[in-house]
Every structure is written in C-alpha cells, then in structure tokens.
Amino acid sequence: MRRPLFLSAAVAGTASPALAHDAGSAVWTSWFGDPPVEALLAILLALYLTGLVTMLSSRHQKWAVSKGRVLAFFAAVLALVLALLSPVDALSEELFSVHMFQHLLLILAVAPLLAYSNGHLVVLRAFSISTRRSIGQAIAAIPGMKQAAHKEVAAWIAAGLFVTTMWFWHIPAAYDWALGNEAVHVCEHITLLVAATFFWRVVLTSGKRRLSPAMAVVLVSLVGIQGSFLSALIMFAPHPLYAAYSGNGLDDQVLAGVLMCIPASFVYLGSTIWALSRMLGNSRTHVR
C-alpha cells in the first residue's frame, strides 16, 4: 500500500516500522492544527491583499512590486503552510529528518521568496499615509538603521546572524529545549525565518546598495561551506545527538544530515552562480 505522503515514504525506512505506520496513518488529520500560526498568517494575508487592492485601484501610482514578486509572495505563503500547517509539522515531532526538512523549507524556500517579493511594500499600502510615515520614522530612529541600509558591514552582520541562528538551534541542548517547550519552538521558527530572510534580502539586493556582486559570491560561498560542515557533523555523529529522536536510530539522523547538505548546496550554488553572472555582466557593461 502506498503511503499518503511522499515524505513519509521517504523517511519510513529510517524509523521503526511501528513509528512509520503510526505517522502514516495520522498524516491526513494533521492539517491546520495550529491556531496562533493560522491567525498570524490570516492577518498577513489580509494586510497584503488590502495593500494590493489599494495599489490596483490607484490611477496615479505605479505598482510597488512586479507581478512576479506578487507570485513570489503567494508562493512563500504556500511554502509556509506546507512547513507549519501541514502533516510535515506533525511528522517533525516524530522524525528528525522531517524536522530538518521543515527547517529547510523555512530558510531555503519561504525566506528567499519573501525576500524577493518585496511584500513589505505591499503590506504598507494597507495603512494610511500618516501611519506609513510614522512606521518609517520609527524604523529610521533605530540606532544604526540608516547607516546599515547602505553599509557593506550590514551584509556581513546578516550572514553572521543567519549562521549563528542555524548553529544555535542545532546545538543538542537548544534543539531539545525547543522540542520540549511550545513557546521556544515558535521562537525557533521565527528566528530562523527572520534571520534567513534578512540574509537572502541582502544577497538578492547585491549590486544595488550595500553589497557588490563579487562580495555576494564570497558571502554565499562561505555560508554554504559552514552549512555543509554542520550537516557533516550531524551525518557522521557516532550516536544520536538529540534526545527527542534517540529512539529512531542513526538512520533518521543521517538522512537529516543528507537533506541539510544536498538541497542547501544546490540553493547556495545557484545563488553563487546568479551573483557571479551579475558580476560578469556588470564588468562587461563597464568595459563597453
């Protein structure tokens, strides 16, 4: 009998047969079971749609974002639903490999799509001009914010925060802490998503203000290398690293490391090639 979810089939061999059977049988009942996440997502969608309608109904204002960026925002929402409101979330409590897949969805799918979408520009249109000005003034009043918007050091800070967040939440004590406390678990997901979105935003805007395409190549390569190192530590650990998954055996942990290494490597490689192509394109323009 085929399993109802491809992911459960992929990880079934990594856990005990009983665990795999239980995870598969309950998978269809695990959609939309987190009211706080659903409420926050509903608010975000309401603000975005309001802002989008406001832009479309304006005759004198151009779109703040392209249609491709609008599609990117909705793709990010779908990926967020898959990560946090689908059977993936339920299975992540039983299988480390699925929990890793959930984290990868957040940092390699949701975050870059949000960073590319310029969704914040659309959301701001849901508010009045005076409110938007107040928000802008409040952000500008944050110490160092104006300087960070145009300084290259901001890119390195973004990369450092992303790497630090990744490593912190994969320390066994911190990981088990998050699994044992729902509030901490929510904090884990939020910090991973925010740090990753900040990082990808810096990469995607390279060449425009704070980061040159050449430095973007270096930055993404360094982040990719440290990610591979972290995945190797997980893959080749001689014993289970996380108490919550210690009963699953090492196969589940090895699969988690493989998932962390291979998909992430392709994303980082693609980002490096993209930044490199922009760098070469700029060089040819200057030569002409």
Q: Which of 36, 48, 55 is nearest to 76 (CA)?
A: 48
Using one digit for the tens of pLDDT, what is the confidence trace for 76-109?
999 999 999 999 988 888 899 999 999 999 999 9
- Given a contact cutoff of 8 angstroms between Cβ atoms, the answer to whether 253 and 234 are in contact is yes
Distance separating alpha carbons of residues 186 and 157, to the nearest angstrom: 23
The predicted pLDDT at position 264 comes to 85
The predicted pLDDT at position 37 comes to 87
The predicted pLDDT at position 107 comes to 94
Task: Show the tokens assigned to 205.
Answer: 């805007």
DSSP string for residues in the chain:
---SSHHHHHHGGGS-HHHHHHHHHTGGG-SS--HHHHHHHHHHHHHHHHHHHHHHH-SSS--SS-HHHHHHHHHHHHHHHHHHSSHHHHHHTT-HHHHHHHHHHIIIIIHHHHHHHTHHHHHHTTS-HHHHHHHHHHHHTSTTHHHHTT-THHHHHHHHHHHHHHHHHTSHHHHHHHHH-HHHHHHHHHHHHHHHHHHHHHHHTTTTSS--HHHHHHHHHHHHHHHHHHHHHHHT-SS-S-GGGGGG-HHHHHHHHHHHHHHHHHHHHHHHHHHHHHHHHHHHHHH-
- Each residue's pLDDT tens digit in the chain (288 positions)? 333 334 444 444 444 444 444 545 556 567 777 788 899 999 999 999 999 988 888 765 666 678 899 999 999 999 999 999 999 988 888 899 999 999 999 999 999 999 999 999 899 989 988 998 888 888 777 766 666 666 777 888 889 999 999 999 999 999 999 988 888 998 999 999 999 999 998 888 876 666 777 788 888 888 888 989 999 999 999 999 998 898 888 999 999 999 998 888 888 888 878 777 776 765 554 444
The predicted pLDDT at position 137 comes to 82
